[in-house]
Structure 1
Amino acid sequence: MAKRIIIAGGGTGGHIFPAIAIANALKKADNTVEILFVGAKGKMEMEKVPQAGYKIEGLDIAGFNRSSLIKNISLPAKLVKSFLQVRRIFKKFVPNAVIGVGGYSSFPVLRFAQAKGIPSFVHESNSFAGKSNMLLGKKATKVFVASDNMQQFFPQEKIMITGNPVRPDIVNVATVAKEEALRFFNLQPGKKTVLIVGGSLGARSINEAIENGLIELTNAGLQLIWQTGKTGAQRWEDAAAKKENVWVSDFIKEMQYAYAAADIVVSRAGAMAIAELCVVRKPVLFVPYPFAAEDHQTVNAQNLVKKDAALMVKDSEAKEKVVSTIIALANDETKQTKLKENISALAVTDADKKIADEILKTIN
């Protein structure tokens, strides 16, 4: 009888795309496996997962709102409702295993699986574990992590270091011709191309720095692929309107083309962004999001800076320093080469396969 696996979580691309990579690896290892995603209604997984060819069920759930306590009044009711929805999903789908990748919907799904004695797996992409993952990790069958020294968050005997799963199209970026990628964005061959990407929701400090420095960047002979994120998207699109050599959008679906076209990347320092950037071998300027839990994005970026594998500008200094740092790097071929060599040494390309093999081994 075919094995059935639920993959739960989402909220951001940093959770969704690794989840899809794991699903693809499971199907590749055993094409009889049936996979069902469970996400949070209204979140981007409800759109991205079907686009990848998988079914998804949505839960009525939300996370704790730290900025407005009044908005948390309905949380207990939503949590109860989500557990009832999970029970109904399990009764219908009858999973042999469940994996949580982070995000609101991971918690009720894995908690329910653990209460029923169904094998449960946690994937923690960051160097600082989230609170719900720490709780779930205590009873999980296995906890997949990206880096070492995670025993402060999870039981040592449950930890398996796999790295972070990277989408196959990103792993295969080298097969995309640069000329083809530049054509995709209507940009010119022979010009240095800078990819600016602040995550699916956007990065205000990066976007403001680019908005203020558009003329300076294009005068320096650079062309831009500017992924603004959803927040304030219209403002950034208006700023770039009618400017030659600037492609702008709130989201890039075909990231393999963006990476293939880019000579330099400006990015937040989330775990998944770093995993991809190591694989695509690009000189990177990180602007870490300063309000991430335990300021883990700064820790992530500093780990690479110490290895001369990336540059970093603090979020608070983005307006003053991002544009000048981009231009200086664009003019320094030796530095670009050094950063490329050092970041590529940190690449992991088979995390999805390791995770899939371990799950299948457990349930077979």
Structure 2
Amino acid sequence: MRVILSGGGTGGHIYPAISIANKIKEKHPNAEILFIGTEKGMESDIVPKAGYSIKFVTVSYLKRKISLHNIKSAGMLFKGILEARKIIKDFRPDIVIGTGGFVCGPVVYMASKLGIKTIIHEQNVFPGLTNRILDKYVDKIALSFREAEKYFKSKNKLVVTGNPIRGEFFNVTEEEAKKKYGIKSNLPNVLVVGGSGGALKINNAVVEMLKLYKPKNFNVILVTGKRLYKNTIENINKEDLANNHEILPYINDMPYALKACDLIVCSAGAITIAEVTAVGKSAILIPKAHTAENHQEYNANAMGSKGAAVVIREDELSGEVLNRQIEKILNNKDTLKSMEAASRKEGITDAADRIYKEIESLLKNINH
């Protein structure tokens, strides 16, 4: 089996592609896999570290308004299509899989024009521009959220697979997680994390909450993000932290952290939501404003409407609001259990297998 995967720009597009590649390798150890991305995107660093080869094409994002940037981007897009065509013809893949981001546009488009089987995977409720354009060209569209169905025209191509995440999230018990973190207290644990890069407004709200309310009936673990750690730690006194609160720049073992905690306060990126629901935890979702087409708010509202999360908009966020919502959830065991049950119901633990099944289905008539 020969496979090209393309997706990039941010981790939200890259990590699902790597999870899909890992599943293909698990099923077909001799499979030949090639990633296509851009040199400036995070994929240029992440993909080689994951053990996969990557080639680069020229592409740039498009702005919503007519501009000189868009004229240049159109020229780069044409160049990217020609570069993608050469890579695809040289590699001769059986299938091409796109996981979003502008780079997968020319790659998946050219593959479809060359008669190669194609799948795109959409991580968010509100699809990205690239995937909406590719709708009519691809053979199959894999969705993380059922709510995304209404934004695609080719209804017969849609399948809900979920968002593939690392296998470690399914292999850790709560007891193991609490032991790893040295948690002996019977107090509820609240994990606060603003995505891989952190979230300044979430960090500031937690600091304000710790200063004003000095909560003693729950433990707080705040993961600031590396670039925001120094600023956050300088804004708080040791006495405000007390013994039951901790501020960290980064967590390498997120599966353990999520399992060890009772409530997750986080942004509403697709991977974060997939991880939280995979372990069946209740959440307070704070969608980051000014993301592409406000996609995080769509994700958060989908979870909120099903009772799996409480949603707080960034412009409504404060230490007082956060403290009130945390206490409201933790002080009512029925509410907490209901949210956890709703979260588990939304969690799709076999997303990579579901996507692989679609790959197999498309390739069933091809001799490998």
Q: Deviations over 1:199-233 (max 9, x none)?
A: 23333321221232233465435443333346645
Deviation at 1:56, TM superposition (A): 2.4
Q: Name the counterpart of 1:197.
A: 193
| Aligned residue-pair number | 358
TM-score, normalising length from structure 2? 0.85
Q: Name the counterpart of 1:18.
A: 16
Q: Name the counterpart of 2:165.
A: 166
- Give 1:1-364 correspondences, 5 Å limit: 3-65=1-63, 72=70, 74-148=72-146, 150-174=149-173, 177-183=176-182, 189-216=185-212, 218-229=214-225, 232-239=228-235, 243=241, 245-249=245-249, 251-292=250-291, 295-319=294-318, 320-363=320-363, 364=366
Q: Deviations over 1:52-105 (max 9, x none)?
A: 322223334332356995655642343244334323432442221111011121
Contact 1:62–1:104 (Cα < 8 Å) also in 2 = yes
Contact 1:206–1:322 (Cα < 8 Å) also in 2 = no
Q: Structure 1: give runs of 5+ residues left out of the alignment.
A: none
Alpha-carbon RMSD across the aligned residues, in angstroms, is 2.9
SS of 1:37 mapped into structure 2: strand
Deviation at 1:294, TM superposition (A): 5.5
**Distance between the aligned counterparts of 2:325 and 2:132, measured in 1?**
38
**Distance between the aligned counterparts of 1:198 and 1:129, measured in 2?**
22
**Distance between the aligned counterparts of 2:11 and 2:214, measured in 1?**
29
The percentage of counterpart residues that share the same residue type is: 34
Segment drifting more, 171-180 vs 267-276: 171-180
The residue type equivalent to 2:248 in the other structure is V
Distance 1:289-1:16 versus aligned 2 partners, 3 A rule: same
The residue type equivalent to 1:235 in the other structure is N
**Distance between the aligned counterparts of 1:62 and 1:180, measured in 2?**
46
Deviation at 1:49, TM superposition (A): 2.4
Contact 2:174–2:260 (Cα < 8 Å) also in 1 = no
SS of 1:224 mapped into structure 2: strand
**Distance between the aligned counterparts of 1:52 and 1:241, measured in 2?**
40
Distance 1:314-1:99 versus aligned 2 partners, 3 A rule: same
Distance 1:97-1:171 versus aligned 2 partners, 3 A rule: same
